Amino acid sequence: MEKLDDILFYQLDKAIRTYRQFAQHRIMSAGFELTIDQWLVLQAIVDDPNRNQQEVAEAAFKDFASVTRIIELLVKKGFLNRSIHPDDRRRFLLTPTEKTDRELANIRSITMQNRKTALKGIPEADFDCLHQCLNQIINNCKKS
């Protein structure tokens, strides 16, 4: 029987999850109250507040339903204000609150450190290889 660790996809899964656990712990112990997924969604909204939820979902690579629920939490936690969109009553207008920018900036510095730590010892030359391989996998698996 092949060892699970020899299977590329198992290793891929393990790598991203190990990183997520690591990063989440560091964000929490620094006293922040956002999960990585909440951070991703919030960042996607701040980057372009005109996005509707489906565009946010696509940007953050999340499910529509998840985005609905995550935004719910972000509103509850006071990072977003939600009001009805003036041009389309099916949509919401999502506006980051005052504390949002500060929080995002603070988390960003931790995230930068996390990435650096996680990538330590990987030669520059391998980055391209990684990016290309991952892109190829994404394209191969994308539903057409």
Partner DNA sequence: CAAATATAATTGATATATCAATTATATTTG
Residues at the site binding DNA, with contacts judged by CB under 7 A: 17, 20-21, 24-25, 35, 37-38, 52-54, 62-73, 85, 88-92
Question: Residue 69 touches which of DNA, its own copies, none (CB < 5 to 8 A by kind)?
Answer: DNA
Instruction: Please give the size of the binding site for its own copies, defined by CB under 8 A.
Output: 49
* Separation of alpha carbons 48 and 107, rounded Å: 19
Smallest distance, DNA to C-beta of residue 56, A? 8
Query: Could you say whether residue 30 binds its own copies (CB under 8 A)?
Result: no
Q: Residue 123: which region, alpha, beta or left (left: phi > 0; alpha: psi -120 to 50)?
A: beta
Query: Closest CB to its own copies among 86 and 125?
Result: 125
Closest C-alpha to 79, from 29, 45, 37, 30 = 45
Q: Give 26: exposed, middle or buried? Use CB within 10 Å, 0-12, 13-18, 19+.
A: middle
Question: Which partner in its own copies, DNA, none is near 68 (CB below 5 to 8 A by kind)?
Answer: DNA
Q: Which residues of 95-121 are buried (b: 16+ CB within 10 A; e: fewer)?
A: ebeeebeebbeebeeebeebeeeeeee
Among 90, 105, 120, 124, binds its own copies (CB under 8 A): 120
Residues that bind its own copies (CB under 8 A): 1, 4, 7-23, 25, 40, 44, 47, 59-61, 115, 117-122, 126-127, 129-138, 140-143
